[in-house]
Structure 1
Amino acid sequence: MAATPAKHVKQMLVDRETKYAVAGVVPVFVMVMLLAHSASPAPTRHEAIPRLGDAVAPVSARQVKMIEASPSTTNWGGARQQPAMLVVTPTRPRSAAPFFYKGTTSDRERAVNCLAAAAWYEAGNDPEGQRSVMQVVLNRVRHPTFPSSVCGVVFEGSERTTGCQFTFTCDGSMQRRFPSPRQWTLAQTLADKALTGSVDDTVGQATHYHADYVSPWWSGALQQVSQIGAHIFYRWPGGRGHLARSRNSGSEADEAELAQGRPRPETQGEAAALLAPQIASLDAAASAPVIPVGVSQAQLIGLDPKSPSGPWAVTALTQCLNKPACTVLGYGQGVELSRNTNLVPAQMDRPLFLFVRDRASGMEVVLWDCDRTARPREDQCLPRDRKSLDQLMRNR
């Protein structure tokens, strides 16, 4: 188990005490002050969105985390604390439990095809990469945030031209390129094994990943668990990352649920023909309208200003999952939240936290009121001028 920043400080204190004991001088005051600060270490860059306060999952051997002082963190002399290095003890991510598919023979066949398609289109002909993708799909099936079927997870959001969970399902890839019969058979074989208890423990309980040459905003909201080749894998932090041992519904989409306007299966090759029954919109929740709160169409959430502010982004991400337009405003629980209900945006107070997604304009931002909660970077702070803030808070 990797030592916490507090443990590092305490170990430094022990070394210091030994040194001064030999010299016959023990600076009691310094020891007391160091212990006081060790109980409340500065927020780290990796704790930013969110802090890992709920629970600490095992970390990949490839990770080295920088512990950086917050801009608002000072010592008792007024000077900023210097960054410290925390070298994480090499461990493997916590493995997911074996997945055993429940369903009819026909449902299982469709699940195999969906899983094989996700693996091949996302990882090409790389078996290691394919297994990692399959594990992420099955981890999502077990997580309450996602659909409870394999095809439901893979084709979530595929009815839209953007915003699908796996890009190949909505960017036309399935109409432009296809695996060869041999490649398809190999992918199906791996998929069948994954649905019969084979586990890829290199990605642990990861539910998200991205290529290492991009940096999506949500990567800071999740906990990194490993990197496989050019892809970095993440899980929800703390208890939010818990996966049910058995959640798959055993019911996959059939031919009657083909998406409107999709090309005819016979024009797409063998693989696409097998997958035609699954190219439907399988997540009814994705099209559910945003429920407005008061005059503002934003979703208001009550927050504890003294709590770690990183998890607020995770809450907003969950609230806006699969919604092309969504605004979440966070206010202090109780009076502050009540005072900002049933107001037009221009009348509302400056929020503690703001999340805005507007797919029409390509905007997706997450910001905090840095006057009331510490953040590691200035670009995570709400604008100070009211005009800019009103632009962010306006109805869309």
Structure 2
Amino acid sequence: MTAELSARGTNVLRATLVGISALAIVGPALVVANPPTIVHASKRVKLPAGRVVPQAEVPEVEPVKFVDLSPEDARAFNATVPFSTDPNPAARPFRFAGGPEDLARATDCMAAGILYEAGDDTLGERAVAQVVLNRLHHPAFPKTVCGVVFEGQDRSTGCQFSFSCDGALKRWHPTGDAWRRAREVAAASLSGAVFKQVGYATHYHTDWVVPYWQSSLDKITAVNTHLFFRWSGWWGTPPAFGRHPETVEPVIAQLAELSDAHKTGAALAEADAALAEASIAMGFGPVTETTAAPAAPVDGDTILVALPRGQTSDGLIALAAQACGDKPFCRYMAWTDGSKAATSLPLAPAQTAALGFSYLRDRSSNYEKSLWNCRQFKRADPAQCMKVQATLTAVPVPAAVVPAGPVAVELNGVRRKTVVAAPPLQTTPSTPAATPK
């Protein structure tokens, strides 16, 4: 009897130990397989009250400023912002209408913007390009492609695309293949390609930041880690995007190391600035938008004319020489558009830009020079082309001197906080994405 009880006790003890062992294995496995939900206490987000701007008031483009949040808290907040349920129509196709030189500058401005903002990723680049074009058609933004991309470039903070004012263009240079691909996307967007998904979006940011302007805009779509927005109310609808862009693109000196089009333009601008001083020394000064001198009658040494219709470029020198006669000093300026021809000095900016031909003679200095507006008169020699928006004086243009480009280093901090380590929009890990306004 005692032996039977002992055996039974041993079996019970053995079964108990087996059960405890099973719980020790199964219990943790169940916890791992079914983890409890951990509630993350997010930092409170304080945004200004949203405001729908009335149609009679052009909306203000606010500088980029972010709420102080960790990437995790920013993502959690952005996930709570619903997408707009209003229609999201595709933007109208855009086709650049300027001349070849302006198209080249616009293409390279667009290529730089989309590459530095989205990285070497075609999908992201197409989305950014559409935002640039949307801004181009909207009254709240500049009227040129380069103006939109480099808006605020002269400010250390407040630029709309941060690569243009945070030194990124000097810190990092794209590979030849990446630049070529970006130019292809840029050229397509300027030739009518439309990225339908972002509609009429004018703003975007990465999902790991929260900009203060977000509260007044409608969230309409996401492309990878980027969220796209348009203004609430009438300013986000297709009729608001009816502004006609300008066709003369500015020269961006920052792009001289990447773009031949801007490299040449930057050199010409430097030459114009230097030669303007020489013009003053010769007895007449440059006419620019900042000219404040009152208008004065044209003197006997200055001739302002409207050219006859159908005038060829080759006959202009003869016309100027005939008009100047035997004068030792003579300025001859001619316009193909009679409605824009000047009748007095100084010239207005629009008159300077429309100038078709300029001739200057100063026999005391043994100086004689003719320049053509090569948008109106084609010349085989580029040195004969005037830079019509810089000065009205007819002066020669020296050859461009191009500095050597910097050594490429890792791109860091383009349109993101330096503490952020979230994945970029593009698929290439070596080129971080940007988060523009």
Q: What range is the shorter-chain TM-score in?
A: 0.3 to 0.5
Question: Could you tell me the TM-score, scaled by structure 1's length?
Answer: 0.45
Question: Which structure would you say has the larger RCO, counting Cα contacts within 8 Å and 6 or more residues apart?
Answer: 2
Structure having the higher Rg:
2
Question: Could you tell me the TM-score, scaled by structure 2's length?
Answer: 0.41
